[in-house]
Amino acid sequence: MSDAGDELDLRELDDDELVKQIQDDLYDGLKDEVVEGTNILLERGWTPYRVLTEALVGGMTVVGIDFRDGILFVPEVLLAANAMKAGMAILRPLLAETGAPTVGKMVVATVKGDIHDIGKNLVGMMMEGAGFEVIDLGINCDVDKFFAALDEHKPDILGMSALLTTTMPYMKVVIDTLIERGRRDDYIVLVGGAPLNEAFAKAIGADAYCRDAAVAVETAKEFMARKHNQRGLVS
């Protein structure tokens, strides 16, 4: 980074310039700068929801597009996501106080027998970066743990990840249990992981296979838009 960059005083920027700077800093994974910019916008009277959507989500959208297009890779995206998380740590309690809307809610986990979590963590971070509320159940998650989380959090989306061919079939166990309990239609079920493909997702009854975190965000947004449209037709 150049000396000129180091001397940049975020407080001297007007709102539009500051938002652009926060997005650039997010893209570069500069956590401290994102936190400072977030705090300055709040001091200037921005609502937490506006800071989230315009500055942070705006920045992560660009990260997601460049990740999808092969311009950014997993290490850079993780840095950006960590910077996003630092900004979210400030905004989350404020958003809860103001009852700000979220795009949707997702429960995500790596299935039973599998302890791989980099892809799953990336999905969770990118989903948060797109304005979703994410409940991450971690690794080695069995049916009972999934259902306890579904009952407690009432999400729109259930996300399952697997990296081993031996643990992939457990996704079907979870979906079959949803069907048995008459709850399959309550959730959008997204699956992902290196050995999976669209044919497998279809065969086990998932709604969609997501190749990577950027695709997961796009897919989740599409399904949520459809859900809202259907609600509009019903009401």
CA dihedral of residues 87, 90, 91, 92 (deg, nearest 10): 110
Domain span holding position 49: 9-98
pLDDT at 6: 57
| Tens digits of residue pLDDT in 87-126 | 999 998 898 888 777 789 999 999 999 999 988 998 998 8
46 and 132 together in one domain: no
- As for how many domains the chain has, the answer is 2
Q: How far apart are CA 65 and CA 8, in angstroms?
A: 27
Q: What are the DSSP calls for 112-140, one per residue? A: TT----HHHHHHHHHHHHTT-EEEE--SS
Residue pair 106/207 in contact by the 8 Å Cβ criterion: no
pLDDT at 33: 97
CATH number of domain containing 129: 3.40.50.280
31 and 122 together in one domain: no
Match 């079939």 to its residue by tokens: 169
Q: What is the pTM of this model?
A: 0.79
